[in-house]
Structure 1
């Protein structure tokens, strides 16, 4: 167990104060040592943990039955079928990390919100503006408005220093019942198969985390932030002792980007990676699955300039071992753009060292974002031109490096009706190659009774036909 600053421990309620080190980790040695309280930590940290209320206005038709002529005759046309406005609300938690009023929460707490409000522990309720939000990270950074500018904060800890078995506290607002504290231990580190964000690298804890805890603080025994509570594994919707938090080292990178220019710039490797299976490990002669296998390298990208080739197995970044592609991406992301890291990789059975210069993915082709309208199967699809920057931002997993990518599909639109999905690449329509969003807009403007389409989905070409 790690005993940190202001943890009340044993012997007649005396406080043992000191800075935790690896050498001080020990199990309780007496009954007195078991009689401790987390209250000093909670008193210091809880004022910086807030509730986040997000709301957005949606339009909803009052009665879908009025689309049916029978019901219109039956009710004499008296039913009002005009769209009605309805407010959707979501509730989560957040953590103040800068005294000027900078709050970190989860992206999914405030996604698509028209208005965001934050309730402080002293009962004040303030409006907040969204400074940065990033779905890939499932993180958002807010700035409080109208306050005094001197807010309590939670300082960052080095999440890489965490060890399995360390005590942690989760603080948030589960189910909207009010601020709640739960305790537990670090159950596992570097969890990468959770599916809660694109940059998967989570701290797992058995401290109870429930709906509403999203965006709350996971703190260590020094009262420092080691993670932002993000997800739970549950069949019932409640906590069963398996919760996940985004490590504080990643949170720090996102906040720094928000304060710098409001845009998150992540390092670009310029290579596609593959998980190493037991079969691949046997073929490589490495004994066990580990590392990230390079499958493709972009010309003139950072990986190519570092000397990486297809078939290389990256096993460490700056001396820290990586187990899979998500682990490698996390290590690079926490280093930040403009840094240089040392890679170790295996080629031909030998370990090779290389230096990798980290840069942001370039937008080699302007994205020219367009939402297609009119009468065509593409109507309602928002599309962009492909470039390394777009590929990184939208998480495109295929191998194509040019073309038109569907960024989103409007609900109820013709594009959704024919089966288009976000992430699809439109390659061809009626024999015309689609090389840009302008090409697609031109094709959509030419009405046709039949569309022979070629799209790429998940690296596979699909040929289909829409219309007569």
Structure 2
């Protein structure tokens, strides 16, 4: 009786795409991984960075109290993963942060062969970079349509965690369209519980049929350890960026020219909407793609090219990764009617981002990569709300941030990295016109 109670009905082999009846007695991911893993590579990159050599207080009387620290170059090395997406052309996708500021990039294939890589282009705001190697008999991974993913789909992460060698972990798609995390400027992440650790950055997130659904990018967890919350850049988003890098050598970001908010239950009620997901248009800026197409404040954008949009963050990320000149069809609810509005995106005038994604104290300012009057690279305050947190600490429009706690800052990626490393009081070194000053964030 006990045996009968525990009996189960066998599952038909044909229903399991990764079940090999001729070689396996039990279901296995091995047949799929044998095809996919050769397309995932290890990346080792080296470069030089400048560090300030502080002058000890005991020697300051010899050099003067205003003596500046000496800049000293020191070598550094990074390690990560990458994915071959075009075997014939030798294209490899990885994360920008894996190869940022490096001079030499070494690719190691699964079979142990090594090649020097050339950097074709990268984008710090989406953390995507494209490399190229000259090699024969490479294996690439076909791309999946990441817009068709569903929560609960199986996901397999392949990469090089802690530089111990190629490792495979499995899980599911835990969530889609994750944003507002402050990890990147444009966020539309796939969340997965497949184990992702340091070194997995730039590796592959694949489906059960061996197609690339995402590029592993970040984890949420104490001390950099895996707690089952990992994030990947969707393959469609990555592919849009790669096409621009191949054609232009850089990302020519498309922009709509609106400000907006996520649609939630409160906004849905206020605007009498039948949906609580999407993006509500708060303002349409003059001389923009949105104004030219006829978008209006109060429009609810619920889809792009027929695919649902769940939030303003997702809308911004998808638009921001489509190239300038692309025409998209926006599904809009206006006065209770569903309409479709075609929009031809214009090119961004700069990598402007809302500073709140970098640090809460900078909320209300809009930042972009810029230069001081004497040509120093830094982060320019492009726009500022005078009633904002950023204005309260003393920032003004046209200020250029060149340092954080006496560490040099040259661009938005630098600023984000430096602020993430700081605890307690933060001193921003700002150039205003021809003068320098410090602004304190407590």
Whether contact under 8 Å (2:251, 2:323) holds in the other structure is no
CA deviations over 1:419-463 (Å, ceiling 9, x no partner) = xx969xxxxxxxxxxxxxxxx89x41xxx8x98x9xxxxxxxxxx
Aligned counterpart, 2:378 = 382
1:43 match = 34
Report the 3-state secondary structure (helix = DSSP H, G, I; strand = E; otherwise coil) of the residue aligned with 1:37. coil
Of structures 1 and 2, the larger Rg is shown by: 1
2:1 corresponds to 1:8: no
Q: After TM superposition, give the deviation of residue 12 of structure 1 in Å.
A: 6.5
State the SS of the aligned residue for 1:273: strand
SS at match of 1:155: coil
Question: 1:371–1:380: 8 Å Cα contact kept in structure 2?
Answer: yes
Partner of 1:55: 46
Please state how far the C-alpha of 1:84 moved relative to its aligned partner: 5.0
1:78 is aligned to: none
CA 1:207–1:383 in structure 2 vs 1: closer, same or farther (change >3 Å)?
closer
1:312 is aligned to 2:299 = yes
Equivalent residue, structure 2, for 1:141: 130
| Aligned counterparts of 2:52 and 2:286: Cα–Cα separation in 1 | 52
Distance 1:61 1:119 in 2: 33
Alignment of structure 1 residues 217-232 onto 2, 5 Å: 217-232=204-219
Does residue 409 of structure 1 match 2:402?
Answer: yes
| Separation in 2, partners of 1:283, 1:297 | 19
Question: Which segment drifts farther, 303-312 or 222-231?
Answer: 303-312
In the other structure, the counterpart of 1:87 is 75
Q: What displacement does 1:276 show?
A: 3.0
Please point out which of 114, 129, 135 is paired with 2:103: 114
Separation in 2 of the partners of 1:179 and 1:368? Answer: 36
Judge conservation of contact 1:159–1:247 (CA < 8 Å) in 2: yes
Identify if the C-alpha distance between structure 1 residues 371 and 51 changes in structure 2 by more than 3 Å, giving closer, same or farther: farther
Cα distance, 1:405 vs structure 2:
6.1
Cα shift readout 1:336-366 (whole Å, capped 9, x = no counterpart): 4433222232333443432212232358xxx
Equivalent residues, number = 378
CA distance in 1, matches of 2:251, 2:14: 36
What secondary structure does 2:140 align onto?
coil
Unaligned segments of structure 2, at least 5 residues: 1-10, 63-68, 351-367, 385-389, 417-430
TM-score when normalising by structure 2: 0.74
Q: Aligned with 1:53: secondary structure?
A: strand
Output the CA distance in 1 between the equivalents of 2:371 and 2:71: 26
Q: CA deviation at 1:68?
A: 2.0
Residues 374-407 of structure 1 deviation map (CA, whole Å, 9 limit, x = unaligned) = xxxxx966366969xxx9xxxxx99xxx97363x
- Structure 2 distance, partners of 1:224, 1:368, is 36
Rounded Cα–Cα distance in structure 1 between residues aligned with 2:60 and 2:327: 70
Alpha-carbon RMSD: 3.8
Asked whether the equivalents of residues 381 and 410 of structure 1 are also in contact (C-alpha less than 8 Å), the reply is no
